[in-house]
């Protein structure tokens, strides 16, 4: 790895108690370029602009995929990644489906550790605080031909992230729009999937909802995901989540929730969830909770489901009664080193590169 | 419009008889930036790189759409665009579906004319030669949040294009992969649609085909498009093409073929095409032609259809017998001012900006 430290650190201007998530960037980034059939050197460099023309294939043909993950700082200042190997595997699944070159462990995992290590001072400390990390691969060849690019960039950029406390939201069960086709790219963290979801989400917001529960595009009879999260439903004391498929992203949080629920002795059923069954359960009172899970906010609890023009209310459970909240607490405690880690999910980031 | 002519024209190094399509760029480009809820000045500037970091939303969330169109030079050196208002309408349909700001006529049509005018010397002359033009809009805000961008760039770049002569190809009728979901973005020229199509196309190539005929994602029983073209089928002396829908791009060439066919007195049926019916027609000998249409090569004729592991051969018609070839000739003659233009499709590009 080639390391080029910044000579103009911006850290002294960074206030961990008052910053804007998403557009405050840490001092460095990782970049690595692909050309002539192979990846070049991994470089840790100052965060900043590169040169691209509007003919860059990444923005013309959407060959681009990404990951979203976090680093957490415990009360002693130790820094941890959470199951980074899952994101490494997933970015390569995404890359394969988009006909892009896969990245190596050295690029992804070592790059991640070096970046988090050198910029560890940027990681805010405290309940729910973290560093949000964005590895991505995108096509960089400049060519106006609808074909696979010959040049790519792998990059890792990062932004400090605040507490993930969120209010319960109302979600609309989609009856027209969809995010994934059979034989499509729904399981990949493909850039284009996100752009496609914005307009339907705006329409749902105009109807008084905050998010969408995506359903299958052919019949809208089955739950798929919720916003950019995987979805869980609790009926009586059993929790349900759809099996992953070519239409559903294999979320790290989803997988962690399933394991944590089993550990708590909660019955988990991984099976298709019928909209009809959820609505019926709401009507007969057996529907206890519906929530989404993902790295960004861990859990978003739903307070109402929009279906057929009706806004169906969900019960308000206390933190103790709620499986969503209990499992979130279990997960957050592991992530931030407040509890044992029986699954071996935490990966400590050693001090190697001192910013001195 | 702000005009900044290049001081380093590359035209003297351009050989119209020997250039690489797609990565030979003309001297200038149009750019226009969107910020604070509005578009800024339209600028005609030297083609070249701009500065973007890897946090650019266009490559992270795929908010990007484009157009593909051509300028043609006739034997007297006059330059024409072809139905540019159709591309203008379509880029705005794409932009709307991707929750991006729409562009104005001034940006799109005047930008197009100014660019083609100033770089008219780059347009190669002769049978099938043209300038391929790429208008595009992409998100430029630097932020790691999966939401609509606040900043965009509209750009027009262009590359000289060669003769569109193409050999007949074999196409696989898709039985697993798909390019569009119901309630998705198939009708939009969304960047992500193209990336999603590369891997299935690679697999089809490994099986001995050149392209894919996309079918509906739920049942694979209906034709949708072919590669990045709209598809036509001729059974006996009737031609069929699927109606445009939210899954099918409303192609300018498709629309032109329909009008040209009607003018020739050919029966055209715009209705869903069942895979089963096409296969049956191939077996009983009534299937005469299947072809794709699009701006890039006008027509690609198919010589065989891959279905259920079988490669079904299509008849080889002479140029006179072939509707695909006859309609292509009609269209090309109008585009390059070799015939009358009864539809008013040509738009001449006046001399306004002299490169002098
Ligand atoms: C579409 C989609 N589904 C689900 C998730 C949740 O995945 P993870 O738990 O790995 O963050 C994400 C990403 O956050 C996503 O983008
Ligand atoms: C998916 C797709 N279908 C069809 C077409 C044909 O459209 P047009 O005739 O406007 O070029 C294109 C673009 O060339 C396309 O990208």
Residue length of chain A = 356
Positions of E strands within B216-297: 223-226, 229-235, 238-241, 267-270, 287-294
Tokens 């759409």 belong to which residue? B65
Atom 6 of ligand 2, nearest CA residue: B294
Q: Which structure tokens are listed for B197?
A: 């199509």
**Predicted TM-score of the model (pTM):** 0.98
- A169-316: CATH, from 3.40.50.300, 3.90.1150.10, 3.20.10.10, 1.10.760.10: 3.20.10.10
B97, B251, B345, best to mutate for ligand 2 pocket (most atoms within 8 Å of CB): B251
C-alpha atoms less than 13 angstroms from C-alpha of A97 in its C-beta half-sphere: 28
Q: What share of chain A is helix, strand, coil (3-state, %, to 5)?
A: 25, 30, 45
CB count, 10 Å around CB of A3? Answer: 12
Q: What are phi and psi of A153, to 5 degrees?
A: -125, 135
CB atoms closer than 10 angstroms to residue B175: 14
Q: Which of A54, A62, A158 sits opposite B157 (nearest CB)?
A: A54
Cβ-contact B90, B189 below 8 angstroms: yes
**Interstrand relation of B298-307 and B169-173 (parallel, antiparallel or unpaired):** parallel
Where would I find the beta strands (DSSP E) of B164-264? 169-173, 211-215, 223-226, 229-235, 238-241
The distance of A14 to chain B (nearest Cα, Å) reads 17
Contact state of A177 with B183 under an 8 Å Cβ cutoff: yes
- Tell me which residues of chain B have a pLDDT lower than 70: 164, 354-356
A98-122 as b/e: b if 16+ CB within 10 A: bbbbbbbeebbbebbbbbbbbbbbb
Instruction: Look at strands B267-270 and B238-241 and give their pairing.
Output: parallel
Ligand nearest to the CA of B214: 2
Helix axis angle, A84-97 to B191-206, nearest 10°: 70
With contact defined as beta carbons under 8 Å apart, do A186 and B185 qualify? no
Residue with tokens 């935490």: A346
**What number does the ligand 2 atom closest to the CA of B69 have?**
11
CA pair distance B181, B276, nearest whole angstrom: 21
Six token digits for residue A263: 């550990």
The structural domains of chain B, with segments of one domain joined by +, span 2-164, 169-316
ipTM, two decimals: 0.97
A-chain residue closest to B194, CA distance: A61
R_g (Cα) of chain B, nearest Å = 21
Chain B positions in Cβ-Cβ contact with residue A228 (cut-off 8 Å): 146
Specify the DSSP element, H or E, that contains A330. helix A323-335
A12 Cβ neighbours under 8 A, 6+ residues apart: none
> pLDDT per residue over B117-143, tens digit each?
999 999 999 988 999 999 999 999 999
Please judge whether B155 and A54 are an interchain contact, meaning their C-beta atoms are less than 8 angstroms apart.
yes
* Ligand 1 centre distance from Cα of residue A253 (Å): 8
Residues for chain B: how many in total? 356
Beta bridge mates, A45: A29
Residue of A nearest to B247 (CA): A181
With residue A169 as reference, give the H or E element that holds it: strand A169-173
Comparing CB atoms, the residue among B48, B182, B228 nearest residue A218 is B182
Distance between CA atoms of residues B214 and B199, nearest Å: 13
For A209, the token pair is 């909802």
Locate the DSSP E strands across B101-243.
130-139, 152-161, 169-173, 211-215, 223-226, 229-235, 238-241
- Please say whether the beta carbons of A160 and A293 come within 8 A: no
Predicted confidence at residue A153, as pLDDT, reads 98
Tell me which chain B residues have a C-beta less than 8 angstroms from the C-beta of A95: none
Q: CB–CB of A163/A114 below 8 Å?
A: no
The ligand placed nearest to the CA atom of residue B335 is 2
Instruction: For an interface test with B, give the residue of A144, A179, A222 to mutate (most B CBs within 10 A).
Output: A144
Q: Which residues of chain A have pLDDT under 70?
A: 164, 354-356
Structure tokens at A79: 């820094």
Which ligand neighbours the alpha carbon of B185 most closely?
Answer: 2
Q: What is the pLDDT of residue B356?
A: 46
- pLDDT, residue A353, reads 83
- Rounded Cα distance between B201 and B205, Å, is 6
- What's the gap in Å between B91 CA and the centre of ligand 1? 30
Three-state SS across B71-131? EEECCCCCEEEECHHHHHHHHHHHHHHCCCCCCCHHHHHHHHHHHHHHCHHHCCCCCCCEE
CB–CB contact B50 A55 (8 Å): no
Q: Which residues line ligand 2 (CB under 6 A)?
A: B 68, 189, 225, 228-230, 249, 251-254, 294-296
pLDDT digits (tens, 9 = 90+) for B65-92: 999 999 999 999 999 999 999 999 999 9
| Closest CB from A31, A155, A199 relative to B97 | A199
CA distance A288 to B214: 42
Tell me the per-residue pLDDT of A276-326, one tens digit each, with 9 for 90 and over: 999 999 999 999 999 999 999 999 999 999 999 999 999 999 999 999 999
B69 CA to centre of ligand 2 in angstroms: 10
Cα(A295) to centroid(ligand 1), Å: 7
Q: Which residue has the tokens 């294939």?
A: A57
Name the DSSP class of B47.
S
Beta-bridge partner residues of B171: B211, B305
- What distance in Å separates residue B118's CA from the closest CA in chain A? 19
* Token digits of residue B55: 């946090």
* Contact assignment for B184 to A181 by CB distance below 8 Å: yes
Task: Please tell me the distance in Å from B265's CA to the nearest CA on chain A.
Answer: 34
Q: What is the pLDDT of residues A110-142, one digit of tens each?
A: 999 999 999 999 999 998 899 999 999 999 999
Integer Cα distance of B129 and B121 in angstroms? 13
Residue A300 near residue A229, CB atoms below 8 Å: yes
Q: Which pair of structure tokens corresponds to residue A315?
A: 């019960």
Distance CA A184, CA B199 (A): 10
HSE-up of residue A340 (Cα within 13 Å, Cβ side): 3
Residue B227: per-residue pLDDT: 95
Please give the structure tokens belonging to residue B230.
């709209």
Ligand 2, atom 1: closest residue by C-alpha: B228
Q: In whole angstroms, give the CA distance from residue B184 to residue B224.
A: 14
Q: What is the pLDDT of residue A178?
A: 97
B76's tokens = 């007297």
Those residues with Cβ within 8 angstroms of residue A88's Cβ, 6 or more apart along the chain or in another chain: A103, A105, A108, A109
DSSP symbols for A264-319: TT-EEEES--BHHHHHHHHHHT-EEEEEEEETTTEEEEEEEEEETTEEEE-----T
For ligand 1, residues with CB inside 6 Å are: A 68, 189, 225, 228-230, 249, 251-254, 294-296
B148 contacts: CB under 8 Å, gap ≥ 6: A198, A202, B63, B99, B100
Cβ distance B55 to A134 less than 8 Å, yes or no, reads yes
CA angle, B37 then B39 then B41, to 5°: 145
Q: What is the DSSP string of A242-255?
A: PPPBTTB---HHHH
Q: Which CATH class is domain A2-164?
A: alpha beta
């Amino acid at each position: 790895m080639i390391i080029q430290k910044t000579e103009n650190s911006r850290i002294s201007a960074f206030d961990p108690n008052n910053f804007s998530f998403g557009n405050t960037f840490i001092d460095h980034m990782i970049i690595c370029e692909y050309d002539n059939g192979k990846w070049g050197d991994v470089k840790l460099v100052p965060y900043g602009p590169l040169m691209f023309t509007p003919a860059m294939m990444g923005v013309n043909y959407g060959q681009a995929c990404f990951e979203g993950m976090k680093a957490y700082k415990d009360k002693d200042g130790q820094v941890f990644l959470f199951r980074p190997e899952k994101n490494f595997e997933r970015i390569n699944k995404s890359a394969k489906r988009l006909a892009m070159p896969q990245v190596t462990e050295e690029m992804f995992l070592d790059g991640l550790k070096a970046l988090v290590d050198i910029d560890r001072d940027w990681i805010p400390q405290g309940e729910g605080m973290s560093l949000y990390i964005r590895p991505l691969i995108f096509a960089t060849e400049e060519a106006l031909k609808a074909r696979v690019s010959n040049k790519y960039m792998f990059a890792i950029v990062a932004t400090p992230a605040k507490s993930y406390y969120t209010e319960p939201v109302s979600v609309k069960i989609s009856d027209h729009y969809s995010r994934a086709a059979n034989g499509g790219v729904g399981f990949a963290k493909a850039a284009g999937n996100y752009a496609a979801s914005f307009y339907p989400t705006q329409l749902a917001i105009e109807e008084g909802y905050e998010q969408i529960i995506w359903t299958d595009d052919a019949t809208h009879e089955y739950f798929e995901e919720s916003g950019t999260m995987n979805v869980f439903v609790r009926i009586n004391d059993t929790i349900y989540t759809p099996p992953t498929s070519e239409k559903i992203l294999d979320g790290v949080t989803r997988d962690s929730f399933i394991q944590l629920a089993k550990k708590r002795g909660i019955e988990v059923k991984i099976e298709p969830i019928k909209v009809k069954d959820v609505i019926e359960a709401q009507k007969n009172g057996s529907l206890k909770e519906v929530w989404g899970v993902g790295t960004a906010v861990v859990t978003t609890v739903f307070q109402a489901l929009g279906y057929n023009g009706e806004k169906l209310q969900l019960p308000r459970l206390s933190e103790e009664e709620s499986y969503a909240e209990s499992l979130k607490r279990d997960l957050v405690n592991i992530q931030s080193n407040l509890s044992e880690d029986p699954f071996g999910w935490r990966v400590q980031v050693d001090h190697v590169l001192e910013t001195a």
